Amino acid sequence: MDPVSRLGLSIALILAVAKVGGDLAARLKQPSVLGELLAGIVLGSIGLPFFEGLRTDPNIDMLARLGVLILLFEVGLESTVRDVMQVGFASLRVALLGTVGTLLTGWAAAAIAMPDSSTLVHLFVASAITATSIGISARVLKDVGAARSREAATILSAAVLDDILGLIALAIVTGMVTHSASGAAVTPWTVIRLVLVTVGFLALAIVAGVKLTPLLFRLTARLRTSGVLLATGLSFCFVLAWASNAIGLAPIVGAFTAGLILDDSHSRRFVERGEASLSSRMEPISSWLVPIFFVLMGMRSDLSAIVHPRTLLLVVLLVVAAVVGKLACALGAPRGSNRLAVALGMIPRGEVSLVFASLGLSMGLLDAGQYSALVTVVVLTTLVTPAALRARLRSSAAAA
């Protein structure tokens, strides 16, 4: 069979399953991402040879990797450097307490459930559950009419920092793993160097990007060829992803940074002449590349591994760690606000945790059970948050 036709059939199947799963999730008032992930789990558990081949198909894997870059680029586009600089001290406290609390509880959970694994693996698993996926919390806040509340502002602002802290943790931990895999010892200096490289890359990319990208987009706006805005944005994303990887960091760090640098002002000249903005232009691409990533992540989950007693223990302990770690956010919430609602809004995990799991599996750091456990944690924390957050907000409104 022509390999292109087989790839086309595979993509068609994955997209069909993704959209059906996303629709079912939306009908149950859950994020479509959760439906795509669960659809992948179902598809992977059927056991037919064709579906089994999709798990390891290098072409599908490459499309999923591109989908990750697009996903993190879009996550960055939803925020700006200005948003980060304007985050209040309370939101900074919420993000830091949640990240540190989850790292500590996640490390303890991994050490208890995975006694035979190395400290680096324990740290990797703990880091994987640090970042909040704020989409579901934002939707709940909107549904209950609290999107403009003080709690919503704190949650959304803290989520911006939470993503950055999660990606910094990813860069540092994967760097430590790579360093250890080369046969070199991981010393305190190794960790310090990785921290400096990661923070230095982010700072340099942001400072240089903020100064240079307006000129870049002014120059490209002179071109009258269609699709120039999208080509410029994607090129900027991919160049930073390459630069990130060239210095030993994960490419997604560069992709996220690229999105963080760009804002609506970069699209202004294109919009003024009747073209769509960069974020609008990205939607047709992300609508088919990103679902491939989520479905493939679900397909790579091993349901038989999840029911193993040790994996079940890991799932339970990581869910507890994920919840308890984020409840620490309540200590940093502003006085007079609904502190528990802020903490509950930081609980759901999502795309960054799945990226961690995917990297861990591809690097040979995680086995099938540990990978499946992380995917299950994403599913469970996403499912429990809406009901808990909605109940807390409504009870507070009734008390008032």
Residue 29 lies in a domain: no
**268 within some domain:** yes
Give the per-residue pLDDT at 258: 92
Answer whether residue 71 is part of any domain: no
CB 322 within 8 A of CB 384: no
The answer to whether the CB of 166 falls within 8 A of the CB of 127 is yes
Taking only Cα atoms into account, the Rg of the chain, rounded to an integer number of angstroms, comes to: 21
DSSP reduced 3-state for 364: coil
Specify if 91 maps to a domain.
Answer: yes
Q: Find the angle CA(92)-CA(157)-CA(298) to the nearest 5 degrees.
A: 105
pLDDT in tens, 314-337: 999 999 999 999 888 888 887 777
User: What span, in angstroms and rounded, lies between the C-alpha atoms of 171 and 126?
Assistant: 14
**pLDDT number for residue 134:** 66
Q: Among residues 340, 214, 200, 306, which one has the least CA distance to residue 267?
A: 214
Whether residue 35 lies inside any domain: the answer is: no
Strands (E), 26-161: none
Please give the single-letter amino acid code of residue 62: M
pLDDT tens string, the chain, 400 residues long: the values are 688 998 999 999 999 999 999 999 888 877 788 889 899 988 888 877 777 888 889 999 999 999 989 988 988 887 776 666 666 677 788 888 988 999 999 999 999 999 988 888 899 999 888 887 766 666 667 666 666 677 777 877 787 788 788 778 878 888 887 777 777 767 778 778 888 888 888 889 989 998 999 999 999 999 888 889 999 999 999 999 999 888 877 888 889 889 889 988 888 889 888 888 898 899 999 999 999 999 999 898 887 888 888 889 999 999 999 999 988 888 888 777 788 888 888 888 877 788 888 888 888 888 888 999 999 998 898 888 877 877 887 776 665 5
pLDDT score, position 332: 84
Query: CA of 8: how far to CAs of 14, 60, 149, in Å?
Result: 10, 10, 46
pLDDT (0 to 100) of residue 102: 92
- Buried/exposed code over 65-91 (b: 16+ C-beta within 10 A; e: otherwise): bbbbbbbbbbbbbbbbbeeeeebeebb
For the entire predicted model, the pTM comes to 0.82
| The pLDDT of residue 171 | 80
**pLDDT given at position 136:** 66
Structural tokens at position 149: 């509340």
Contact 342, 330 (CB under 8 A): yes
Contact 131, 377 (CB under 8 A): no
Q: What is residue 219's predicted lDDT score, i.e. its pLDDT?
A: 93
Helices 58-77 & 3-27, crossing angle to 10 degrees? 40
* Cα–Cα distance for residue pair 149/102, rounded to 1 Å: 26
Residues sharing a CB contact under 8 Å with residue 206, sequence separation 6 or more, in sequence order: 81, 257, 260, 261
Question: What is the torsion angle, in degrees rounded to the nearest 10, for the CA atoms of residue 96, residue 236, residue 79 and residue 248?
Answer: -10
Q: Which domain holds residue 251?
A: 80-281+303-399
What token pair was written down for 291?
Answer: 């679902």
368: nearest Cα among 307, 271, 314, 302: 302
Backbone angles phi, psi at 167, to 5 degrees: -70, -35
pLDDT tens-digit profile of 193-230? 888 888 888 889 989 998 999 999 999 999 888 889 99
Question: Is 24 part of any domain?
Answer: no
Q: Taking the mean position of all CA atoms in its chain, how far away is CA 399?
A: 35
Distance between CA 83 and CA 98 in Å, rounded?
Answer: 19
In a domain, 25, yes or no: no
Output the pLDDT for position 144.
62
Residue 244: both structure tokens together: 């990130």
> Tokens for 282?
């990205």
| Contact indicator for 198, 253 with CB cutoff of 8 Å | yes
The reply to whether 248 falls in a domain is: yes
Is residue 108 within 8 A of residue 318, CB to CB? The reply is no
State the Cα–Cα distance between residues 257 and 254, nearest whole angstrom.
5
Domain count along the chain: 1
- The CATH number given to whatever domain includes residue 90 is 1.20.1530.20
